[in-house]
Amino acid sequence: MTDEHFMQQALGEARKALDKGEVPIGAVVVQNGLIIGRGHNQVEMLTDCTAHAEMIALTAAFNYMGAKYLPDATLYVTLEPCVMCAGALYWSKIGRIVYAAADEKNGYRRVTGDKTPFHPKTKVESGIRGEESLQLVKAFFAARRK
Amino acid sequence: MTDEHFMQQALGEARKALDKGEVPIGAVVVQNGLIIGRGHNQVEMLTDCTAHAEMIALTAAFNYMGAKYLPDATLYVTLEPCVMCAGALYWSKIGRIVYAAADEKNGYRRVTGDKTPFHPKTKVESGIRGEESLQLVKAFFAARRK
């Protein structure tokens, strides 16, 4: 299974959010080729601004594994994590983070700058299917402005 | 009701965590003199490293208020919030944050430095019952080393 495949799965989660009127962001957590957690943004449905795709996918993965650290897992998410989600990923000691598109407004780098907020062993990559992710977000906000 | 009173309530939450073998950190969210959310660290019980006192107290407050922002509320927490909790507090647009003791190791300032991670309107104070909070944390780690 490739990064492309799992990012498609994360984009599928983002589309579920879009269908429910939520900002379309999705995430999956993968270990040994298996999806061990999924999540999409549920801020509106839960009336809880902490219900981000990454938080939900991480909690699902902790539950599935019965573990509170995920050093051998990869998180795929359609948009650069915010500061909160970056902090959660730090605690998780996750092995790898792959995000599709940068988020200039709310991405963690806006606050943390050159300092990585993640565990020293966590690898970070970006750019896979970034355009597709941004199109979803743009479609959402264009529809809201109508 | 004073800040002292509500920090005592947060310390009471921290003691609940201690009794359960969790790192003793507690939080309450207050609006108009009423506690609208409570939480204590449940990382071990839930096997979820995102189950911090502040996250649980915030989600409880969102549920109680049926609102996803808390501009008129104050969060009292016994230790300086970590990056994750600081990010959650940013999203909540909470009016005021009061923490008892600084956390040199995992507090948000370690990563954010001089940049505030909070909403521009959020006020931050610290130092109320800080010594009491640190004593709880020290007692926990001393017991673990035995």
> What is the helix (H) or strand (E) element at residue A34, kind and residue range?
strand A34-40
Residue A24 confidence class, pLDDT cut points 50, 70, 90: very high
CATH code at position A93: 3.40.140.10
Q: Is residue A10 part of a domain?
A: yes
pLDDT of residue B26: 98
Query: A62–B47: do the CB atoms touch at under 8 Å?
Result: yes
Helix segments in A66-145, DSSP class H = 83-92, 109-112, 130-145
Does A23 lie at the interface with B, CB-CB under 8 angstroms? no
Q: Could you give the ipTM of this predicted complex?
A: 0.94
Mean pLDDT confidence for A15-27 = 96
Q: Is residue B10 part of a domain?
A: yes
B14 or B146: which leads in pLDDT: B14
CB atoms within 10 A of CB B12: 14
pTM (two decimals): 0.95
Q: Is residue B82 part of a domain?
A: yes
Residue B95's alpha-carbon distances to B52, B61, B70, in angstroms, are: 20, 13, 7
pLDDT of residue B98: 98
Query: B86–A83: do the CB atoms touch at under 8 Å?
Result: yes
pLDDT of residue B36: 98
Which of A25, A36, A42, A50 is most worth mutating to test chain B (most B CB atoms within 10 A of its CB)?
A50
Q: Is residue B115 part of a domain?
A: yes
C-alpha triplet A139, A143, A144: angle, nearest 5°: 120
In contact, A83 and B91? CB cutoff 8 Å: no
Q: Is residue A144 part of a domain?
A: no
Marked catalytic residue, from A13, A22, A44, A54: A54
Whether the per-residue pLDDT at A141 is higher than 80: the answer is yes
Query: A49–B84: do the CB atoms touch at under 8 Å?
Result: no
Number of domains in chain B: 1
Chain B: residue nearest A48 by CA? Answer: B68
Q: Is residue B145 part of a domain?
A: no
What pLDDT, in 10s, does the model give residues A32-72? 999 999 999 999 999 999 999 999 999 999 999 999 999 99
CB atoms within 10 A of CB A103: 19
Mean pLDDT confidence for A15-22 = 96
Domain of residue A107, residue span: 3-126
Q: Is residue B120 part of a domain?
A: yes
pLDDT of residue B146: 73
Q: Is residue B133 part of a domain?
A: no
Whether the per-residue pLDDT at A80 is higher than 90: the answer is yes
What pLDDT, in 10s, does the model give residues B80-128? 999 999 999 999 999 999 999 999 999 999 888 888 899 999 999 999 9
Which residue carries 């109508």 as its tokens? A146
